[in-house]
Amino acid sequence: MKYQYQIRVSPEEAANQHKLKQAVSRHGGIAKKDITYVNVLKRSIDARQKDIKINLKVDVYVKEAFTEEKIYLPDYQNIENKEEIIIIGAGPAGLFAALRCIELGFKPIIIERGKDVRTRRRDLKALNIEHIVNEDSNYCFGEGGAGTYSDGKLYTRSKKRGDVDRILKLLVGFGATSEIMVESHPHIGTNKLPAIIADIRELILNCGGEVLFDTRMTDILVLNNEVTGIKTLKGETINSKKIILATGHSARDIFELLHRKNVKIEAKAFALGVRVEHPQELIDQIQYKCDSRGEFLPPSPYSIVKQIGGRGMYSFCMCPGGIIAPCATAPGEVVTNGWSPSKRDQPTANSGIVVELRLSDFKNAEGNPLAAMEFQKQIEQKAWLEGGSTQKVPAQRLVDFIRGKVSANLPVTSYKPGVTSTDLGEVFPDFIHKTLQGGFKEFNKSMRGFLTNEAVVHAPESRTSSPVRIPRDPYTFEHVQIKGLYPCGEGAGYAGGIISAAIDGERCAEKCVESLQQS
Ligand SMILES: Cc1cc2nc3c(=O)[nH]c(=O)nc-3n(C[C@H](O)[C@H](O)[C@H](O)COP(=O)(O)OP(=O)(O)OC[C@H]3O[C@@H](n4cnc5c(N)ncnc54)[C@H](O)[C@@H]3O)c2cc1C
pLDDT of residue 458: 98
| Closest atom of ligand 1 to CA, residue 490 | 26
Q: Closest Cα to atom 12, ligand 1: which residue? A: 497
Ligand 1 mean position, distance from CA 386 (Å): 27
Q: Closest Cα to atom 11, ligand 1: which residue? A: 497
Pocket test for ligand 1, best of 117, 128, 150, 212 (most atoms within 8 A of CB): 150
pLDDT of residue 162: 67
Residues near 97 by beta carbon (within 8 Å), at least 6 away in sequence? 87, 108, 244, 246, 488, 505, 506, 508, 509
Specify whether the CB–CB gap between 66 and 78 falls below 8 A. Answer: no
pLDDT of residue 147: 83
**Helix extents (H) in 220-327:** 252-260, 280-288
Ligand 1 mean position, distance from CA 88 (Å): 12
Q: How would DSSP label each residue in 350-412?
A: EEEEEEE--GGGSTTTTT-TTHHHHHHHHHHHHHHHHHTSSS-EEEEEHHHHHHT---S----
pLDDT of residue 156: 74
Q: Closest Cα to atom 46, ligand 1: which residue? A: 141
CATH topology of domain 84-265+472-518: FAD/NAD(P)-binding domain (3.50.50)
Ligand 1 mean position, distance from CA 164 (Å): 18
Q: How far apart are CA 316 and CA 303, in angstroms?
A: 8
Q: How far apart are CA 276 and CA 332, in angstroms?
A: 22
Kindly state the helix (H) or strand (E) to which residue 124 belongs, with its residue range.
helix 120-125
Q: How would DSSP label each residue in 474-494?
A: TTT-SBSSSBTEEE-TTTTTS
Coil/strand/helix, residue 212: strand
**One fold for 2-62 and 84-265+472-518:** no
Residues near 110 by beta carbon (within 8 Å), at least 6 away in sequence? 87, 88, 89, 90, 94, 95, 98, 204, 209, 210, 211, 212
Question: Ligand 1 pocket by C-beta < 6 Å: which residues?
Answer: 88-94, 111-114, 139-142, 145-147, 149-153, 216-217, 246-248, 251, 254, 317, 325, 327, 337, 339, 489-491, 495-499, 501
Ligand 1 mean position, distance from CA 231 (Å): 22
Q: Closest Cα to atom 27, ligand 1: which residue? A: 248
Calculate helix-pair angle for 498-518, 164-173, nearest 10 degrees: 100
What torsion, rounded to 10 degrees, do the Cα atoms 430, 436, 441, 446 define? 160
Ligand 1 mean position, distance from CA 479 (Å): 21
pLDDT tens per residue, range 441-473 = 999 999 999 999 999 999 999 999 999 999 999
Q: DSSP character for 178?
A: G
Residues near 159 by beta carbon (within 8 Å), at least 6 away in sequence? none
pLDDT of residue 116: 97
Residues near 430 by beta carbon (within 8 Å), at least 6 away in sequence? none
| Closest atom of ligand 1 to CA, residue 139 | 53
pLDDT of residue 158: 60
Q: How far apart are CA 320 and CA 408, in angstroms?
A: 27
Ligand 1 mean position, distance from CA 405 (Å): 35
pLDDT of residue 161: 58
CATH (residue range 2-62): 3.30.70
Mean pLDDT for each 10-residue chunk of the chain (519 residues)? 95 96 94 96 94 96 92 95 98 98 98 97 97 98 93 73 87 95 91 96 98 98 97 96 98 98 97 98 96 93 95 96 98 97 95 97 94 98 97 98 97 97 97 97 96 97 98 98 98 96 97 95
| Closest atom of ligand 1 to CA, residue 140 | 53
Ligand 1 mean position, distance from CA 193 (Å): 13
Q: Closest Cα to atom 4, ligand 1: which residue? A: 150
Q: What are the residue ranges spanned by the domains of the chain? A: 2-62, 84-265+472-518, 271-461
Specify whether the CB–CB gap between 508 and 475 falls below 8 A. Answer: no
Ligand 1 mean position, distance from CA 498 (Å): 8
> Position 427: which residue type?
V
Ligand 1 mean position, distance from CA 141 (Å): 7
